[in-house]
Amino acid sequence: MRLSPAPSLLASDLGSFRRQESVFITLSLLILTALLSLHWYFSSFWGRPTVLLESAIGLYAFLRILELLWLQRLKLPLRSSVVLSLTWISIVLNLTLASILAVLTDREDTPYYVLLVISVLEAAFRFKLPATLAVVAFADISLFWQVRWYFGKHPPLDVGEYFEAGITSLVFVIVGVLVWMLVGDLRRKENRLASNVLDLERAREKLLREEKLAAMGRLSSAIAHEIRNPVAMIASSLATAKQLSGSERDEMFDIACDEANRLAQLTSGFLDYASTRPPTPTDTPVADTVAYVADAARAYASRKGVGFEIEAPDQLMIHADASQVQQALMNLVLNAVDASPQGGTVALTGRFCDRGAVIDIENAGPPIGEPALARIFEPFFTTKPRGTGLGLAIARNIARAQGGDLILADNRAACVRFSLILPTPNGKS
């Protein structure tokens, strides 16, 4: 939320105002501390600081420290009128303190007028140019007033002091105008940057919407393509069966039944991909999960004479939804069995890694071809004659829903390895 819609305020929110005001307060206190230390060090020239001078400095420091503590506890944004009032109070306080300390020093050259530069800087940061020049004018007038007051009390007049006051006042003008210009340029750049960021955010949202629509279009096209083929085969087989009899007719019915089963499998796979339920994570031993999946897939693997090698440390645990992880692993294991050569072996290995736990599924089949590598996780993409192309997509969705991931870790001859990365009970993922 902006402190004020007026462009005269550089601070656009509570945080920036708090930081900016804290810098002014800290800077004024540091300068005042340095000036008082110099006053004591050169007391032979300026005289010892009086109790009244030290009291004035102490009161000022106390008020500014209170303001600093108040700023740190401030939670709600301030109205622009409050911010402007605080700024004017701070400026007037610095101008007044500089004049009081100059009088209490009672010397033609007083170091405490350095405090006036804080008022000039604060005006240049917060106000438009006319108000900034007005503060500079007050600071310059106070310089000439101090010279006149001192030599009215300690004649005769030294004209050179007016010349020095004029040089100092010119420095104040330069500082005030230069800082005002720099702050104005910074404000314009910040406004342009904010506008550009807003435009980029809008463009990003538009691109995301368009990408989602494009993805939906691609997915719809893929679904229509995959469903059309078995439906066409069913319709063709049934139409042909009407004209046949005996074993030929039974063959057409078998084809229709196979295609219907394929269509049901495709539909189930798509539902699994599109509507994965939110996971219910529990602490589960990796060894038990891997052994369960291997036992469930053993009958399928035996048709090709494929065996399993299982290795997982007993202490390796995952914090994930056990049933979903089993589903993902089953898809990966069945893919590995299909890719393995006759009589080959599928290795299931659990291990620790810096991201949590990893379950490697490795087969000794040929590497995945270069054209297919970029699309292996794409829904409905498959190199199998009768595959649905959803197994890897479903497995990766499940892994990411748990806070993990699924990657192709190795792809070379006789070593194709997918790595299922899952979080562990200690929070790693």
Q: Which residues of the chain have pLDDT under 50?
A: 1-11, 428-429
Euclidean distance between CA atoms 255 and 238, whole angstroms: 9
**In the chain, where does the domain assigned CATH 3.30.565.10 lie?**
282-422
What's the pLDDT at 7?
38
Global pTM?
Answer: 0.51
d(CA 219, CA 223): 6
Q: What is the structure's pLDDT at 9?
A: 42
How far apart are alpha carbons 344 and 276 in whole angstroms? 32
CB 103 within 8 Å of CB 149: yes
What count of other Cβ atoms lies within 10 Å of the Cβ of residue 361?
25
Decide the pairing of beta strands 307-311 and 282-285: unpaired
Question: What single-letter amino acid sits at 217?
Answer: G
Please state whether beta strands 282-285 and 415-422 pair in parallel, antiparallel, or not at all (unpaired): unpaired
What's phi and psi for 74, nearest 5 deg? -70, 130
Q: What are the structure tokens assigned to 2, written together? A: 């902006």
Query: Which one, of 285, 308, 232, 292, lies nearest residue 263 by Cα?
Result: 232
| Rg of the chain, C-alpha, whole Å | 40
Q: What is the pLDDT of residue 53?
A: 93
What is the pLDDT at residue 300? 83
Q: From CA 308, how far away is CA 298, in angstroms rounded? A: 8
| Sign of the torsion formed by the C-alpha atoms of 125, 126, 129 and 131 | negative
Residue 393 makes CB contacts below 8 A (sequence gap 6+) with 273, 377, 378, 379
Q: How far apart are CA 419 and CA 405, in angstroms?
A: 8
C-alpha 274: how far from chain center: 28
Q: Is residue 361 a contact partner of residue 346, using CB atoms and an 8 Å limit? A: yes
Residues facing residue 282 across a β-bridge: 320
**Structural tokens at position 417:** 């390895």
**Superfamily, domain 282-422:** Histidine kinase-like ATPase, C-terminal domain (3.30.565.10)
Amino acid identity, position 41: Y
**Residue 383's pLDDT is what?**
64
C-beta of residue 407 within 8 angstroms of C-beta of residue 392: no
Predicted confidence (pLDDT) per residue in 385-427, tens digit: 555 567 788 888 888 988 899 999 989 888 999 999 999 887 6
Structure tokens at 419: 């790595």
The contacts of residue 173 (CB under 8 Å, 6+ apart) are 133, 136, 140
Tokens representing residue 393 in the block:
């997509």
